[in-house]
Structure 1
Amino acid sequence: MSTLGNIGAAPAHVLSALRLGRIERYVLLQLGKSLAVALGVISALVMLIDFVEISRGLGSDTDLSGVRILGLMLIKSPAVIVQLLPFVFLFGTLAAFVGLNRRSELIAMRAAGVSAWRFVLPAAGAALAAGVLTVTVIGPLAASGDGMFQRERGRISGAVGGGEQEAIWLREGEGQRQMVVRAARQDRANARLLDVTFFIYATDPEGRRAFTERIDAASASLSAGRWRLVDAVGAQTGQRATRYSTLDLPSSLADDEAFERFARPQSTPFWSLPGQIQRIEAAGFSSTAYRLRLQQLLSTPLAFAAMTILAAAFSLRLMRLGDLARMAVAAVVLGFAFFFLNQFSAAMGSAEVVPPFIAAWLPAVLTALAAFTLLFYTEDG
């Protein structure tokens, strides 16, 4: 009965935690210092690995200077660091509360009747705010940097080896005529697509599509609402192929859309994901990976807060037993368990085994439930 009473009193602790006193501010200050150290260590490791990877990859194919490699590393690493931020909050929170316990400061707080909710919930609130900032500001900047790195890597690889370029797929049309365009290469200098194939479909009044014609062309340029095909060969269903020196096809695309390809989900900023999803679905392709990415970003603040509460509750319980070694091992296992669950859930969502919404939110929700359960058990018995 007393446990239920303590649980029912939790909202009162929440309200009191919203009013930050000297104790809360001090705990947040210690937490901020520990998070900064954890972020610095993880960032240094990521940048070192990326520097070596770029040096052995792109640097071995062409003569890149150290400054150039450093620049590529600086635009690539932030995207990886953002993905590892849950570990920053896990290990940073553990380090902060371990330090408070080793200095007997938490013992003094609790001896004075201060509930663990009073200093854990402000830490979780700070993590939640950091998650919102990450999703809305830091994440888009990191995604833009990753996109820049992917384009620069493709340009360097193409310049060195004559390199294959990723094919461009477009879809357009309205009413009774639909057209899918595939270009093997592009020539931006002359505003042309090279080795182009047009698949033309007819739509009946009931919405069913039937393939009617295929046209292959050496090049195609888009201008003034029409495709200009050069050295083209076209064949309608059941008929012999016809060769054209030039051929014009009507188009509903803008001129610059002829050179667009869909950026990978990790390179798409948060604010651009909804529009990207609409464009992909309008082009007739699957948007599952982009929907999954959007939901993962939306669940990020909850994941940060859950990892903070879990680390705090876990450290409180083990510090009472005085077992620092077991706490450190358990923290590492906990971090890898969360990472494995997140990756497994993302793989299930990408394979469309489960909906993207469930795949993205399941790890964060399970971590939050585990965190609150452990904190209730630790604090209220």
Structure 2
Amino acid sequence: MITGTLSRYFGWRFLSAVLAVFAGTLVLTAMIDFLEMLRRSADVKDVSALLVAQITLSRVPFITERVMPFAVLVGAMFCYLNLSRRLELVVARASGISAWQFMAPALAIAALLGIALTTVYNPISANLREFSTRLEADLSRPDSGFRGTGRGFWLRQRSEDGQAVINAKSSAPSDRESFLLKTSLTPVQVGESFATPETVPFWQLSSYIDHAENAGLAAAGYRLQYYQLLAQPFYLAAMVLLAASVSLRFFRFGGVQKIVLGGIGAGFALYILSKVTGDLSKAGLMGPLAAAGLPPAIGAITGLMALLYQEDG
């Protein structure tokens, strides 16, 4: 039976490896995005490096949120490979601790990370992404603009009379059935500028689905995003199982390169599957709940089957 001290040790080794991979990805993403934003804003007048840095820092959380599953996958592989290389897993097995027992802390931490990612990190990254979108619009599209969020809408347009900015939480005319506003925007431009599902905070997705349906827009993408965020803890736990299924073989069979490539390949295949099921859901060929739940379910079953074969024959 694994002790509390040993459980905390394995859990800390896993968490530190995941955070190290995530921090490295964060820094690398920020550097690349900053250079790209500098290149894109080179032709825009009166743009300071400070403004570009502000846009980059607002975009990075949104980008890195997408790579968190791979950070868990790579971090788990590095964690178990290092434990195997230092023969710590050999000693743990010799003392009667099974692979399932020293994997339990990593699974619990991955699930907690998924909950935090959905309930805390996602709202922050979505709000920062919306803020960066407004800053980018000021740079790249100064002549027209329309933005929608779960809190209302804002519109900016330039006409012969000058520039106008309209911000409204809702439309509720009391003395007339409708209110006509002269604008150069077309229905296509308005639809394209409606916030994408990835930029809506988790806590506002339910109300935003209602707003999209009331506006006559398709809500399948928002429903899919909602269920995918709910499935995030299970998705990260599935990544731990996939990582363990390839990395726990190291101290017996060797082949670090094949292990790393195998783990990354499995994670990439799961990512492709999530994209395919997501596209099927948006096209109305698959329910959003099934599309969001199928990739983590297949990943978990694959990892469990491989571990059962390796550990229990």
Same fold (TM over 0.5): yes
1:334 corresponds to which residue? 266
The offset of 1:332, in angstroms, is 2.2
Structure 1 position 100 matched with structure 2 position 100: no
The offset of 1:341, in angstroms, is 1.5
SS in 2 for 1:84: helix
Please say if residues 58 and 131 of structure 2, whose CA atoms lie closer than 8 Å, have aligned partners that are also in contact. yes
Structure 1 position 294 matched with structure 2 position 277: no
SS in 1 for 2:216: coil
Cα distance in 1 between the residues matched to 2:98 and 2:109:
18
Flag the 1:86–1:228 CA change in 2: closer, same or farther, 3 A: closer
Count of residues in correspondence between the two structures: 293
Q: How does 1:76-155 map to 2 (within 5 A)?
A: 76-155=59-138
Cα distance in 1 between the residues matched to 2:211 and 2:131:
21
Deviations 1:2-49 (A, max 9, x none): xxxxxxxxxxxxxx67xx512111111111221121111211222122
Structure 1 position 165 matched with structure 2 position 135: no
Q: What is the one-letter code of the residue matched to 1:56?
A: R
Cα distance in 2 between the residues matched to 1:186 and 1:299:
43
Q: Which has the higher contact order (CA 8 A, sep 6+)?
A: 2
Please say if residues 239 and 300 of structure 2, whose CA atoms lie closer than 8 Å, have aligned partners that are also in contact. yes
Cα distance in 2 between the residues matched to 1:44 and 1:71:
15
Question: Aligned match of 2:51 in 60, 63, 68?
Answer: 68
Deviations 1:70-113 (A, max 9, x none): 11111111011011100000000000111111111111111111
Q: More strand by proportion, 1 or 2?
A: 1
Deviations 1:94-153 (A, max 9, x none): 001111111111111111111111110121011001100110011110011111111221
Q: More helix by proportion, 1 or 2?
A: 2
Please say if residues 242 and 263 of structure 2, whose CA atoms lie closer than 8 Å, have aligned partners that are also in contact. no
Flag the 1:190–1:310 CA change in 2: closer, same or farther, 3 A: closer
2:187 corresponds to which residue? none
Flag the 1:315–1:164 CA change in 2: closer, same or farther, 3 A: same
Cα distance in 2 between the residues matched to 1:331 and 1:304:
14
- Superposed CA RMSD: 2.8
Q: Which has the larger radius of gyration?
A: 1
Flag the 1:354–1:59 CA change in 2: closer, same or farther, 3 A: farther
SS in 1 for 2:217: coil
SS in 2 for 1:61: coil
Matched residues, percent identical?
30
1:358 corresponds to which residue? 290
Q: What is the one-letter code of the residue matched to 1:165?
A: G
Please say if residues 31 and 92 of structure 1, whose CA atoms lie closer than 8 Å, have aligned partners that are also in contact. yes
2:253 corresponds to which residue? 321
The offset of 1:56, in angstroms, is 1.9
Please say if residues 59 and 69 of structure 1, whose CA atoms lie closer than 8 Å, have aligned partners that are also in contact. no
Please say if residues 75 and 148 of structure 1, whose CA atoms lie closer than 8 Å, have aligned partners that are also in contact. yes
Relative to the length of structure 2, the TM-score reads: 0.85
Unaligned runs of 5+ in 2: 149-154, 183-192
Flag the 1:321–1:167 CA change in 2: closer, same or farther, 3 A: closer
The offset of 1:166, in angstroms, is 4.4
Q: What is the one-letter code of the residue matched to 2:28?
A: L
Relative to the length of structure 1, the TM-score reads: 0.70
Segments ≥4 residues shifted beyond 4 Å: 183-193, 221-225, 227-231
SS in 2 for 1:165: strand
